[in-house]
Amino acid sequence: MAACAMSTPPDLLARYRRIRERTRALCAPLAPEDLLPQPVPEVSPPKWHLGHTSWFFEAMLLAPQRSGYRVFDPRWAPLFNSYYESQGARVERGARGHLSRPTLAQVQAYRAHVDAAMRDWLMGAEDLGAEVLALIELGLQHEQQHQELLLTDLKHILGSQPLAPAYGDTRPGVPLPIALPAEHAPQRGGQQVVQGGPAASEWLSHAGGVVEIGHAPGPDAGFAFDNETPRHAVLLAPFALRRQLVTNAEYLAFMADGGYEDFRHWHAEGWDWVRQLPQRAPLYWRHEPQAAPGWRHYTLQGECALEPEAPVSHVSFYEASAFCHWAGWRLPLEAEWEALSPQLAWGARWEWTASAYSPYPGFAPLAGAAAEYNSKFMLSQMVLRGASFATPPGHARRTYRNFFHPPLRWQYTGIRPARGA
């Protein structure tokens, strides 16, 4: 990550506690059974997220940097190592759902052990130094990324149950740690996510030319991942982006017009994908011919009606691109998005861009084990910009580069119209 103004340790400890506590809270409304399954390889069990995020602090920080730290259980590293070749063997990704052990209680004890060690370290008189402080920050940002994944994985786990339960249905008294209405409503946090209405046709133009994108270091720069650096100039042609995301109503019009049946809108690999799709609609939608508009969808609150003006969600890159082709638009480049972002209503969906995930000119990955954090994935994926209601508070920023493979759609993904100016 780029250099950033570090928190002082006392602040850092408070922040550490707050972030770690939120992870715990996200799991609290669940039945313990919900923490274990892995319905598809890309969805990890919540229990695994609980263990992995603690392993990250242990393996990247405590074990190599904190003298006297006792590794909680040396046999666990292969269980909770996600993809770090430098950290030795690991359980195959698709087998995470087979791990009944360690049990949930043991994983919670692991979290407590790591948290106690981190607290002692942060409360100590020791000067931690820039490298350790940077790694702690990385661990916290990492924890926040997994909070978003935990929610989307959980939605997949619950949503693929034949009984399709709602998040929180087993523990009615437990307050939900996230603002669920935000999933389908047009507003989010400080961002002006004004969807639909008269403003739906509002386009924001940009004259093009040289713009700077990426994270710039500086005393007040704040945190950024290495893939957001270095800040650099890009030359853009004139363009326009729509202030609002594509709505369910707009997407239904695409479907009604035969969008899924017309090859001309699709990339060749998207068309292959469509032909094997069990159902031609966004993920979590369920056809119900007798109810207008013919579809309902599963949400964390259970199955419910589609809100026409809410932004469409859970679409693949193929679908986002085909929709835009049908509508006579295109997807934005990530540089276009970043250049106009101060004017956009964003934050409700991760927005597919037309930019392949590549290193910025002059990019250098983090040193040490963290080098594997981002750079080795810079191939065959597409960049998404924005954030979603599942993104933890304070984790979103305009330079953020999220990335997924074109067919994946279990994240809260959406569509931003773009066009030449």
The answer to the question of residue 37 lying near its own copies (CB under 8 A) is yes
The answer to the question of residue 17 lying near its own copies (CB under 8 A) is no
User: Is the CB of 262 or the CB of 307 nearer to its own copies?
Assistant: 262
The answer to the question of residue 125 lying near its own copies (CB under 8 A) is no
Is the CB of residue 421 less than 8 Å from the CB of residue 238?
A: yes
Q: Which stretch binds its own copies (CB under 8 A): 8-16, 122-130, 227-235, 395-403?
A: 227-235
User: Is the CB of 306 or the CB of 418 nearer to its own copies?
Assistant: 418
For residues 317 and 331, give the distance between their C-alpha atoms in angstroms, rounded to a whole number: 10
CA-based nearest residue to 388, from 335, 352, 362, 336: 352
The answer to the question of residue 386 lying near its own copies (CB under 8 A) is no
By CB under 8 A, the residues from 49 to 88 that bind its own copies are 75, 78-79, 83, 85-86
The answer to the question of residue 387 lying near its own copies (CB under 8 A) is no
The DSSP element (H or E) to which 299 belongs, if any, is strand 295-299
CA-based nearest residue to 122, from 104, 108, 135: 135
- How do beta strands 239-242 and 295-299 pair? unpaired
Exposure letters 22-47 (e unless 16+ CB within 10 A, then b)? bbeebbebbeeebbbbbbeebbbbbb
Residue keyed to tokens 């043991």: 106
User: Is the CB of 61 or the CB of 418 nearer to its own copies?
Assistant: 418
Which one among 14, 28, 31, 116 touches its own copies, defined by CB under 8 A? 31
Which one among 6, 13, 71, 91 touches its own copies, defined by CB under 8 A? 91
Q: How far is the CB of 82 from its own copies (least distance, A)?
A: 11
User: Coil, strand, or helix at residue 275?
Assistant: helix
Give the total of residues touching its own copies (CB under 8 A). Answer: 65
Is the CB of residue 286 less than 8 Å from the CB of residue 298?
A: yes
Residue type, 417: P
- Burial class of 191 by CB neighbour count within 10 A (0 to 12, 13 to 18, 19+): middle
The answer to the question of residue 233 lying near its own copies (CB under 8 A) is yes
CA dihedral in degrees (360, 363, 368, 369; nearest 10)?
10
The answer to the question of residue 39 lying near its own copies (CB under 8 A) is yes
User: Is the CB of 136 or the CB of 382 nearer to its own copies?
Assistant: 382
Q: Which stretch binds its own copies (CB under 8 A): 58-66, 100-108, 184-192, 214-222?
A: 100-108
Contacts to its own copies by CB under 8 A: 31-39, 47, 75, 78-79, 83, 85-86, 91, 95, 97-104, 157-158, 160-163, 165, 170, 210, 232-237, 263-264, 266-271, 317, 354-356, 358-359, 361-362, 371, 376-380, 406, 420
